[in-house]
């Protein structure tokens, strides 16, 4: 087994194999923490990806004097899960407040005009489709099956007849590329 601290040092030098090794070793722990907070497998998977994304983008945040690597990962996982829970709760509240009355969606609030939600949806859809086009076909297929069809990693692996680890890797790398696409393109996802 590779030393955890050595893996984090390698991640600081942008070693993707080190990230993969860290993911393989601790994804179960991170997922469990996220699932306890979120109580939803799909949301827990999102928080799992966000946790390892943070490790990849900010590896310098780990301080060995403050605790072991598993503790550090669990702390990030809990934080990402709580952020996601708050975000989903706020999103749900916004949707509830914007529900149409008698089939008519509100377009004006306190005399101020707001953007029609369908316009925002169309623009966001264009951004997402553009970002998805930057992925490999395999990554795009895995992400579509997971996020649009709501399939679990196991269900995708069975449907495509490939190992679950390959699916996880495609999803992880695809999400990393999507985030990098939005970061470098200057486009921010709308939601």
Structural domains in the chain (count): 2
62 and 127 fall within a common domain: no
pLDDT in tens, 77-94: 999 998 888 887 776 666
Cα 154 to its chain centre, rounded Å, is 18
175 and 137 fall within a common domain: yes
Instruction: Provide the CATH number for the domain around residue 168.
Output: 1.10.10.10
Domain membership of residue 97 (yes or no) is: no
- 24 within 8 A of 163, measured Cβ to Cβ: no
Kindly state the percentage of the chain with pLDDT values over 70: 73
Considering the chain, what is the average pLDDT of its residues? 79
Instruction: Provide the CATH number for the domain around residue 19.
Output: 1.10.1740.10
Instruction: Give the best-scoring range by mean pLDDT among 114-118, 127-131, 168-172.
Output: 168-172
Residue that finishes a domain, picked among 56, 91, 126: 91
More confident residue, 137 or 122: 137
66 and 130 fall within a common domain: no
Q: What's the longest Cα–Cα distance across the chain?
A: 63
Cα(150)–Cα(155) distance, rounded to whole angstroms?
A: 10
pLDDT in tens, 124-162: 556 666 777 888 989 888 887 876 666 788 888 888 899
Residue that finishes a domain, picked among 25, 58, 91: 91
87 and 129 fall within a common domain: no
Mean pLDDT of 32-49: 91
Domain membership of residue 191 (yes or no) is: no
Q: What is the dihedral of CA 151, 155, 157, 159, to 10 degrees?
A: -100
The predicted pLDDT at position 1 comes to: 40
38: containing domain: 4-91
Domain membership of residue 99 (yes or no) is: no
79 and 140 fall within a common domain: no
19 and 59 fall within a common domain: yes
C-alpha distance from residue 34 to each of 63, 81, 125, 148 (Å): 22, 5, 28, 21
64 and 134 fall within a common domain: no
Tokens 């301080």 belong to 63
Cα(114)–Cα(7) distance, rounded to whole angstroms?
A: 48
13 and 87 fall within a common domain: yes
The predicted pLDDT at position 92 comes to: 66
pTM given for the model: 0.49
Which pLDDT band, with edges at 50, 70 and 90, does 186 fall under?
A: low
The predicted pLDDT at position 128 comes to: 67
Which pLDDT band, with edges at 50, 70 and 90, does 187 fall under?
A: low
83 and 22 fall within a common domain: yes
Domain membership of residue 110 (yes or no) is: no
Kindly state the percentage of the chain with pLDDT values over 90: 30
């Amino acid at each position: 087994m590779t030393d955890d601290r050595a893996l984090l040092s390698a991640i600081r030098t942008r070693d993707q194999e080190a990230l993969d090794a860290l993911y393989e070793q601790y994804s179960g722990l991170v997922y469990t923490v996220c699932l306890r907070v979120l109580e939803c497998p799909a949301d827990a998977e999102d928080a799992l990806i966000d946790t390892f994304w943070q490790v990849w983008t900010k590896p310098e945040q780990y301080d060995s004097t403050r605790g072991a690597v598993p503790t550090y990962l669990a702390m990030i996982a809990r934080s990402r899960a709580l952020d996601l829970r708050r975000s989903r709760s706020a999103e749900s509240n916004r949707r509830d407040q914007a529900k149409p009355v008698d089939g008519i969606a509100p377009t004006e609030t306190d005399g101020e005009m707001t953007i029609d939600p369908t316009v925002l949806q169309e623009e966001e859809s264009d951004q997402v489709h553009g970002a998805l086009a930057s992925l490999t076909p395999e990554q795009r297929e895995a992400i579509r099956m997971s996020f649009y069809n709501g399939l679990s990693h196991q269900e995708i692996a069975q449907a495509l007849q490939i190992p679950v680890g390959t699916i996880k890797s495609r999803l992880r790398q695809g999400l990393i590329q999507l985030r990098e696409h939005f970061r470098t393109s200057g486009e921010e996802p709308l939601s």
